[in-house]
Every structure is written in structure tokens, then in C-alpha cells.
Chain A
Amino acid sequence: MPTITINLNDLNSLLGKRLSLEEFREVVFPLKCGQIEGVIGSDITLEVSHDRPDLFSAEGIARELKGILGIETGLPRYRLGESGFKVFVDRSIAPIRPFISCAVVRGVRLSEEAIVQAMQLQEKLHLAHGRRRRKVSIGIHDVREIAKEIHYSAKRPEEIRFVPLGEDREMNGREILELTPKGREYGHIIRDFPAYPLLYDADGKVLSMPPIINGVITRVTERTEDVFVDVTGTDGEAVESVAKIVATSLRERGGELEAVEIIGPSGALIAPDLRPLELNLEVGMASRILGIELSAESISEALRRMRYDAAPMGDRVEALAPPYRVDILHPVDLVEDVAIGIGYGNLEPEPPSIPTRGKELPISAFSRKVRDLMIGFGFQEIVSYIMTSRAMLFDKMGLERGEVVEIGNPLTIDYSVLRNWLLPSLLNFLSHNRHVAYPQRVFECGDVVSIDMGEPTRTRATRKLAAVICDFRASYEDAQSVAYSLLKNLGFGQPGARRAEHPSFIKGRAAEILVAGEPLGILGEIHPGVLNNFGLEYPASAFELDVSRMMELKRLK
């Protein structure tokens, strides 16, 4: 979940009410930004839910708190004036970054904290909803020097020339990608296109090269009075949503919201679109979901605290959601807001009383019997990761590399495939315990994964048991006697063994373990070469059995 930092004094001035840290903690907890991660002085770090990008700044949180505290409930009113700005969208941008939305906030006074919050909002939106600027990116500008006619089009990198923010000289498009920190970080989004997106005015002054960097000419400072917001991206709806959030958040600092006319190849529209979303909520539905008796009135009241306009209409409520609430898909989303408006803490927990009988998976019950027996034989149980490496599964075990489930984006080669047998995990375990008291007898009962193209997931998981004995002397017979006793105690009768050739074991000291003629696993003395590979200095004997198959055989009987 995204975390943001706000300043309590700044929040209090937005709220018009003084909350102590403790009071703030209490009122914010029941909200979707209620998880306080840390406090340094009056700076508070909060975790905010993914679905509520409108709470990624102090302005949004203040707006939400006003409702909960009863300072100001119902729909925030946004009057949209005329800015006179026109943005001409050129056809050339269509294949690269076709969508743009804009807004102007006039007469805003940006304190240092306000600028910090605006940058943080921008940053968090880029991360969470902009998919690291690929899907959506935001520019915030001081447009005192900019002409009202703005163009959004694609330009060849060599044609682009401006001083980017944070630099002290003019650069072309390619230089920006190669030489500026932001260019290196986000350049991959546009690098492969023959032309890059550019936002510039009628005089050729560059506002930004989305989604990389702004021009220095529109830098926002504490002296900035009129703010211009551009949001560009590859998803029209996401672009519009982000524009609404940024514009309405800035507006919380005062000033007037003004519209920008966006003129594209196929027509013109007015941005941002701040019309509320109309929704209906049935009283019965909300009551059923929350498990409490609600009325149209009580629902309306709760929704107003959550900054909706809501009117009871018989057995339903007609609601208008604020434009920045871009998370609402279904009436259940309103139900959650009703619950938050009421307060989760005011919902009485009620243990469900549905009489059913517990039912364990047969493999779980069977595995427990296997584990109990291994404990009885004096073995220490171990647990290891299913993720491992080819080196572990094949190379160290003296085997030719075979096919295993392979991860496409491993972070380290040590955990890049899924194990297809358990014994390597056990030998790896022993290799960490060379100086611990012997004898060492350990086992693991766990899952391995193998490729099976007949399955919908092309793979099959199998429960296995592997055990190893490592001591000054550890013979074939030591492992064999345990394996045999285990199988006899599980009701398989006297097992058999058939000599096997297996490079992990000493030649002539390895066998398949047979039950009624069917091989259920492997048994033997570990090959000294394998012991060397794991750095083991004492002999080891081991076995590995297919527990899933053992259980199947029991069930067939």
C-alpha cells in the first residue's frame, strides 16, 4: 500500500480545526488512510489504500476528515470557470500517448508544504495509477509566461530543444533521455518511438516532454499564483481520473478551478470533467451486506459524512459521488462507504453459527502419520523452500540437467526453479551443519513440482518424504531399515528393493523401493562425489518416497 507523509499543522489549517496528534490518530483510524506508520515531530506517515488515490495528499485527507468530523458534509461543490486555455492535440501523438486532460487553478497560494504535497501526490499517482508514468503522467506548471494556445504533439527528438527542470542548459530530446536522471529512469517508455510527446505554447515555449520531464520555464514556486495541470497517458479514463484528483486536491488550498478546452482531431471537450457520478443504493442490499437494520435516512447520513450527496427515496437512496471518487464500480462500493460512515468499530462482531463438520484433506492426514513415524525413528523434521536452483537439483546431485519448472523473472539464481525432488534440500541442510553433533538424522515431508503437460497448469505437485542419515558410519541398511519399517507400519507389508543405477548414489548401493512390484521411491548410500559437492565429510544414506502415490494405493485398497 502507498504511504504518504503529511504535516499535522498543515492539515489543521486545511481543516480549520486544531487536532492533537492523539485526536488525529483516533479520527483517521476508521478511514482508508487510517494506518499510521510513523510520526516525526508533526510529520505523520500514513498508509493509504490503493483504491483511494484522492487520499494521497493532505488536501484529500482534510476533505475526507471534514465529512467525518461534521465540519462540512455532502458533496464538495466545484465551480468551474473559464481559463481561456486551449490545448490542440495533434494527430501525430495518437500512436504514442494519445490522451490528455488539463485543468487550471487560479489564485492559489502555494506554501512550501503545499508544493511538497503536490509533488508527493504527483509521485504517488505516477506509481500506483500511472504504472510508473507509462499509463499516466502528470505535469504541474506555473503558466504566467505561457501563451493560452498550447499544442500537444509528437516531435522528433532532434527537433525538441528546451531547458529541462533541474538542468542549466538547453537539451534535445535524445540528450534528455540520456543525460537527465528522469530521462534515464523513464526514457524506456518513449525511446523506441521516432517522435516524443511534447507540450508547448504558441511561442514554442515548452511546458513538458511527457512523461519524462517539465521545462524549467513553468517551474512552480511559492510565488506561483496560477497553476496549470497537464495529465497525459495511454488510457483515456485513467488520464481523466488523475486530472480530477489533482485538480480538486489543489483546489482545497483555495483559488478558482478553471476549465481548459481540449481540441483534438475528432472534436473538442472541456476538461476536467467534474460532474458527480449518480448512483442508486437499495436499503435492503446495504442492510443485508452489513448485517444491520438500516433506513434510507441512516444510509444517506452515513454517505453525506463520506462526502456524497444522498437523498432517501423510499427503499433506496439516490447518491451523487464526488468526482474524485474514481474507485466506484458497483453499489457495493457505496455499501462500504456506508460502513465507513457508520464506523467499522460500531459494527458488532457476530460469530457465524453454521453447523458443519471439519474435513481434512486426505493427504494432510496421511502426511501426519508419515511424519509421526519419522519422529518415532528419531529424525528431526526440517522445512525448506520449494524454490531452488538447477545447481542444487542437478549439478550437485551428480545428475544431467533435466526439465523443471522455471521462473522467468527470478531475483537470484538460487531461487529460480521449483524443486522436483526433496533430497537436495536435505543434503543442503546437512552442509550447513558439518560441525554439529552426529549422528544427524533429518527428514522433510513436503511438496515437489514437476511438469505435466496434461494438466491445465502444465504442472503437478506431489507430496514426498525424504530422509537422510549422516554419521561416522551410515550404511545402505541404515536407511533401508527405516524405509522398510515405515512402509510396514503404514500397512504396505514387506517392501522389496530392485537394484537401481542412480548417479547420486554409490554404484551397487542404490535401489528402487518396491511395494507390490511398484517403485515408490529411491534408496541408497549417497555418492562420495555428491558428498564432496555439498562439502560433507561423513557418509550419508538416504531415501525418498512418493507420499501422494502411497496415499492413493491406500485408498485403492
Chain B
Amino acid sequence: MKLPRNEGLVLSALGRLGGRSELSQLSKITGLPDAAISRASLELSRKGLLRIIDSTVSVLKPTEEGLSYARDKLPERRLVELALRLGRRAPVGRLAGMLGLGDDMLSIAIGWVRRKGWGRVVKEGGELLLEVEGPPAEGADERLLRELADRGWAILEELDEEGRGAAALLKGRSLLEETQRSRREFELTESGWAAIEEGLEIESAITALTPDLIRSGKWREVELREYDVAATPPEVYPGKKHIFVEFLEEAKRILLEMGFEEYSGPYVETEFWNFDALFQPQDHPSREIHDSYIVKNPSSGWIEFPDLVERVRRVHEDGWITGSRGWRYKWDRAVSERLVLRTQTTAVSVRYLSTHKEPPIKMFCISNVFRPDVLDAKHSMEFVQLDGIIGDWGINLRHLLGFLEEFSRAIGLGEVKFKPSYFPFTEPSVESFARHPKMGWIEFAGAGMFRPEVLAPLGIDFPVIAWGIGLDRLAMIKLGIEDIRELRSTRLDWLRDRPLM
């Protein structure tokens, strides 16, 4: 079986350790850091090659005193060994003196000599003598103490019966202490053994490619561990452009490519530019409070071009020189100076024409307009409109239809069809529909040719075609959004999760 390096090392070490071991041993044998062994063993357990067994064990550790006895031997042994050197029989007082044992320690040592049957104490002429036979074999307690001193610890449950007895003894003498801890062991499964028998092929794979490996060229000797490439990564959120702004930028890009000049105008607009210059009579329903936001502060502005104001007045009242009958009412300058929130970006088109009178003219504006509405899924008091105009000698209605067809395709909709419509400032007026691949015919743009009553006061004597498109609705269709509020969504997770396309 072929395994990554660490996994192979752990598995074979476990085999060598008899099929069951814990982290520290594995670490010693494999030379791997604990974390690497943990990772590898988790991986191996996932593969069914080993089992992870968690349990609680008693850890034995020598006390200070225990350690000193491990170094200097137990006092009873030192007593017996000295007695041996002094001819198997020596006065206790002299032995204690030579070993430097205090009275307390001496009596403890003598007590253990007796209990271990290493010698006997006899009284001769008022003096206590220690008699020994020969050197006693190493006791289980001494062996355990030595091991503890060597390794620093032992696991009670791993000791044999004799060892457990010795541990109890040493514990009683306060030479070791016992603490509880949880233990993780690793045990080979049947398949683990089978894999070892079958032979392990060790990849010398590592996880992280370090600058050191790269610099030293050691990367040639190692193999980079293969990852679970299908695992789910943690979530990250990019800095991301807003989908609606991107849609507006796309519309703008198309128009720039078509050779249009971008233009802008004020959000707060005089009624003059928003309505009067567009030949909307002053009592037109769309000028009522139901259909436009009136600005209270500031409440009125002024018009930059007095001559234009006069011509617009005439054209409303009697048609001026245009051949029109006009709207036949008394035009009020004060009304035209009132301020409203722009209801249509057509106001920007007319502003443009007031200062750009040389054909050819190709202009567009993409910006916010405002109409009284309560914000809900289908209505908004503020939305983005695209208005555009083309003016030149020879421009006609068929060019308008042609432009709308071209723009529809560019924005990703299909063929277009047209029907008559009405706007106070255009004649002929056109409503255009574009075919959406799924939704069928959708209303696309309102359009028309500016009326002479609009153009003549501006001093424009060539024809101008104009159109307006509500970009919110179009964006909703293009982006598959059903609630207009989502175009200005306040939900961060929605914006984060929403694909750009």
C-alpha cells in the first residue's frame, strides 16, 4: 500500500511496537512532531488502518526523595551492602555513622531490611549488630524506581502485578506520586496489519513547502503531500463591485462604444428644464404633486437663458413661430422657476441642447430620477433612467427604430417591435418592446422625435431623436431580480453571495 510519508512512518512504527502504542512512543520512533503524528493517525483511522483509543490512566512520577534514592540506592540496600563489605556483620551504630543516616532514617532502613528478609539484627553485649547473608537481588520496587528515574514516568496500568505491588509500596513510602490523565492510544486494525504485511510503500511526502526546502534544494528529496482537493475551504469575501453599478457601467460602455457623449444635470431641477422646455403644459397631470416631488427648501431657482424663457413662453401660449397651436393658456414664469426633484433625465437632454447646437449630436445621461411612490417590491421613489439623443440633418424615425434595435441587441435582448405612444415632447412617439429569451416581449424604451415646440425655442433646426429607458426594470430583468429594492440591497450576505454575472 502506498501512503504519505508520515502515515507510513506511523503505521510501520505501530507495527514494530506490537500494534498498539501511544503518541509519545510513536514520536520517539518516527521522529515526527506530535502534531504530525496526530494528523497522520487521524488520516489512517479514516482509512480504517488504525483505531484511536481514548482512555484515562494513572501516571506515576518519582518524588524528589524517590529520585535521590534512585541515584543513591535505597537506604536499606546501602545498609546491607556496607555490612557485607564489613564482613557480613557490623554494628548498626557504626553503619549509620558511616552512611550518615539519622536515627529516623536508620530505623526505617532497618525495618525494610527485615521486611525484605535481607538480614537480621542481633543484640550482642548491649550493641545492635546487622548480619547479612549475601548481596540481595534487585527488588521490584528498586527496578520501578530506576525506570521512573530513567524515563521520568510510568503508567500504572501498563505494569505487571509485581510492578503494581512495587508501585503501591513506593507510593506508601512517598517515593512516587500518582496522577490521572487521559490517554490516546493507537492500535492497528486487521487492515492495518494486512497493509504492513503486504508491504508499505512510503512516500516521502511533506505538507508545507518551506522557503528552506526551496532554497536548499531539499524539495527534490521530498514529496509534497497530496491534499483532499475536494474538501470545502473556509469562506472568503472579495472586495466586490455592486451588481447594479456594474450593470449601469455596462450600459454606459455600450453607448460610449457607439460614439455617444456622456452628460449630466442637476437632481434638483427647475420646472422649466424638467417640464416647460419639454413642452409639458403647466397644468399637465405629471406636474401635479402626485407625480413629482416638490422641493420646499430651497423652493425656487432661476433660468440661465432669458431669451429661451421667452421663447418657451410663446411656444406654450400660441406655438410661437413653430406652426403649432400651442397649449393656449397663460404661461406663468413663477411656476417654471419652482424647484422639483428631476422626474426625467430628458431634462438633461434639453439642457445639453441648449448649449450644444452644432450637429451631429449624440449624447446620453444615466442618472437618478424621482417620483412620488411608496417603496415596495414593485415601486421605488428613486430610480435610474437612461436618456439619449441623436441630432443631425437627415435623422428620421427609422433611425430611431434602428438605434433601439441595435441597443437592444447590445444589452443582450433580442429583436424589437414598435407601437405608437405619447410623450408631450415627442412626435411621432414610439413605445418599443424587446424580446427576452425567457420572458417574451418586455417594454423596453419610450422614444420619439423631439417636437418642433421643443427644438425651435432651443434654436435647433435639425431633427433630434430621443429615448428614455428605465434601467432599474431592465437591470431586474437582466439580473433575475424580482424585488426592485434588491438593486439597492441592504443585505451584505446577499451582495457577497451574488455572482457578478
* Contact residues in B for A292 (Cβ distance below 8 Å): 398
On whether the beta carbons of A354 and B360 are closer than 8 Å, the reply is yes
**Cβ distance B322 to chain A, nearest Cβ, rounded Å:** 7
Q: Chain A 437-460, CB within 8 Å of chain B: the 1/0 string?
A: 100111000010101010111110
On whether the beta carbons of B463 and A288 are closer than 8 Å, the reply is yes
Is A385 in the interface zone, CB < 8 Å from B? yes
On whether the beta carbons of B428 and A380 are closer than 8 Å, the reply is no
On whether the beta carbons of B392 and A407 are closer than 8 Å, the reply is no
**Given A34-B419, A458-B298, A359–B256 Cβ distance below 8 Å?**
yes
On whether the beta carbons of B319 and A330 are closer than 8 Å, the reply is yes
**Cβ distance B172 to chain A, nearest Cβ, rounded Å:** 54
Report whether over half of chain A's contact residues are helix, strand or loop; otherwise say mixed.
Answer: loop
Pick from A382, A409, A437, A456: contact of B372, CB below 8 A: A409
On whether the beta carbons of B339 and A347 are closer than 8 Å, the reply is no
Number of interface residues of B (CB under 8 A): 103
Pick from B256, B325, B395: contact of A329, CB below 8 A: B325
Question: In the bound complex, how far is the Cα of B484 from the Cα of A377, in angstroms?
Answer: 29
On whether the beta carbons of B406 and A330 are closer than 8 Å, the reply is no
Apart from A440-B492, A457-B268: 11 A-B pairs, beta carbons within 8 A: A347-B418, A354-B392, A358-B257, A358-B261, A360-B252, A375-B238, A381-B240, A409-B293, A432-B492, A433-B490, A456-B301
* Contact residues in B for A440 (Cβ distance below 8 Å): 492
* Contact residues in B for A235 (Cβ distance below 8 Å): 329
**Given A407-B295, A457-B268, A345–B417 Cβ distance below 8 Å?**
yes
On whether the beta carbons of A289 and B397 are closer than 8 Å, the reply is yes
Question: In the bound complex, how far is the Cα of B293 from the Cα of A291, in angstroms?
Answer: 39
Question: In the bound complex, how far is the Cα of B448 from the Cα of A339, in angstroms?
Answer: 12
Pick from A329, A360, A381, A411: contact of B381, CB below 8 A: A411
Question: In the bound complex, how far is the Cα of B76 from the Cα of A282, in angstroms?
Answer: 138
On whether the beta carbons of B402 and A351 are closer than 8 Å, the reply is yes
**Cβ distance B467 to chain A, nearest Cβ, rounded Å:** 12
* Contact residues in A for B270 (Cβ distance below 8 Å): 456-457
Is B496 in the interface zone, CB < 8 Å from A? yes
Pick from A408, A429, A433, A455: contact of B493, CB below 8 A: A433
Q: Which chain B residues numbered 225 to 272 have a C-beta less than 8 Å away from chain A?
A: 235, 237-242, 244-245, 249, 252, 255-264, 266-270
Is A16 in the interface zone, CB < 8 Å from B? no
Q: Which chain A residues numbered 338 to 366 have a C-beta less than 8 Å away from chain B?
A: 339-340, 344-345, 347-352, 354-361, 363-364
On whether the beta carbons of A49 and B396 are closer than 8 Å, the reply is no
On whether the beta carbons of A405 and B297 are closer than 8 Å, the reply is yes
On whether the beta carbons of A349 and B404 are closer than 8 Å, the reply is yes
* Contact residues in B for A368 (Cβ distance below 8 Å): 249
On whether the beta carbons of B301 and A347 are closer than 8 Å, the reply is no
Mark the stretch among B28-36, B139-147, B199-207, B449-457 that contacts chain A.
B449-457
Interface size class of chain A, counting residues whose CB lies under 8 Å from the partner chain: 35 or more
Is A222 in the interface zone, CB < 8 Å from B? no
Question: Which of A35, A52, A384, A408 counts the most chain B CB atoms within 10 A?
Answer: A408
On whether the beta carbons of A409 and B428 are closer than 8 Å, the reply is no
**Cβ distance A393 to chain B, nearest Cβ, rounded Å:** 14
**Given A332-B427, A350-B401, A387–B381 Cβ distance below 8 Å?**
yes
Question: In the bound complex, how far is the Cα of B268 from the Cα of A461, in angstroms?
Answer: 9
On whether the beta carbons of B323 and A331 are closer than 8 Å, the reply is yes
* Contact residues in B for A415 (Cβ distance below 8 Å): 375, 381-382
Question: In the bound complex, how far is the Cα of B267 from the Cα of A455, in angstroms?
Answer: 13
On whether the beta carbons of B296 and A364 are closer than 8 Å, the reply is no
On whether the beta carbons of A355 and B259 are closer than 8 Å, the reply is yes
On whether the beta carbons of B241 and A451 are closer than 8 Å, the reply is no
Is A506 in the interface zone, CB < 8 Å from B? no
On whether the beta carbons of A350 and B402 are closer than 8 Å, the reply is yes
On whether the beta carbons of B298 and A405 are closer than 8 Å, the reply is yes
**Cβ distance A186 to chain B, nearest Cβ, rounded Å:** 15
Cβ-closest chain B residue relative to A234: B283
Is A131 in the interface zone, CB < 8 Å from B? yes
Is B420 in the interface zone, CB < 8 Å from A? yes
Chain A interfacial positions (CB closer than 8 Å to B): 1, 29-32, 34-35, 49-52, 128, 131, 135, 235, 237, 288-292, 328-333, 335-336, 339-340, 344-345, 347-352, 354-361, 363-364, 368, 371, 374-387, 403, 405-412, 415, 418, 428-429, 432-433, 436-437, 440-442, 447, 449, 451, 453, 455-459, 461
Question: In the bound complex, how far is the Cα of B490 from the Cα of A440, in angstroms?
Answer: 13
* 10 intermolecular pairs with C-beta atoms under 8 Å apart: A29-B419, A329-B453, A330-B322, A354-B259, A359-B256, A378-B237, A381-B239, A436-B492, A456-B304, A457-B270
Question: Which of A34, A382, A384 counts the most chain B CB atoms within 10 A?
Answer: A382
* Contact residues in B for A458 (Cβ distance below 8 Å): 268, 298, 300-301, 339
Chain B interfacial positions (CB closer than 8 Å to A): 235, 237-242, 244-245, 249, 252, 255-264, 266-270, 283, 285, 288-289, 293-304, 319, 322-329, 339, 341, 360, 362, 368, 370, 372-375, 381-382, 390, 392, 394-399, 401-406, 416-422, 427-431, 449, 451-453, 463, 465, 487-488, 490-493, 495-496
On whether the beta carbons of A383 and B488 are closer than 8 Å, the reply is yes
**Given A349-B402, A375-B239, A458-B301, A449–B267 Cβ distance below 8 Å?**
yes
Pick from B268, B374, B416: contact of A405, CB below 8 A: B268
**Cβ distance B72 to chain A, nearest Cβ, rounded Å:** 58
* Contact residues in B for A328 (Cβ distance below 8 Å): 325
On whether the beta carbons of B239 and A336 are closer than 8 Å, the reply is no
* Contact residues in A for B452 (Cβ distance below 8 Å): 330, 332
On whether the beta carbons of A407 and B491 are closer than 8 Å, the reply is no
Pick from A51, A347, A358, A441: contact of B256, CB below 8 A: A358
**Cβ distance A444 to chain B, nearest Cβ, rounded Å:** 9
Pick from A358, A384, A451, A459: contact of B260, CB below 8 A: A358
* Contact residues in A for B390 (Cβ distance below 8 Å): 352, 354
Question: In the bound complex, how far is the Cα of B285 from the Cα of A371, in angstroms?
Answer: 40
Question: In the bound complex, how far is the Cα of B466 from the Cα of A352, in angstroms?
Answer: 13
**Cβ distance A360 to chain B, nearest Cβ, rounded Å:** 5
On whether the beta carbons of B422 and A49 are closer than 8 Å, the reply is yes
Question: In the bound complex, how far is the Cα of B26 from the Cα of A234, in angstroms?
Answer: 103
Cβ-closest chain B residue relative to A362: B262
On whether the beta carbons of A349 and B405 are closer than 8 Å, the reply is yes
List of 4 A-B pairs having minimum Cβ-Cβ separation, nearest first = A291-B396, A358-B256, A408-B296, A349-B401
* Contact residues in A for B394 (Cβ distance below 8 Å): 288
Question: In the bound complex, how far is the Cα of B94 from the Cα of A454, in angstroms?
Answer: 118
**Cβ distance B410 to chain A, nearest Cβ, rounded Å:** 11
* Contact residues in B for A49 (Cβ distance below 8 Å): 420-422
On whether the beta carbons of B303 and A345 are closer than 8 Å, the reply is no
Question: In the bound complex, how far is the Cα of B261 from the Cα of A108, in angstroms?
Answer: 59
**Cβ distance A160 to chain B, nearest Cβ, rounded Å:** 29
**Given A329-B326, A352-B390, A371–B241 Cβ distance below 8 Å?**
yes
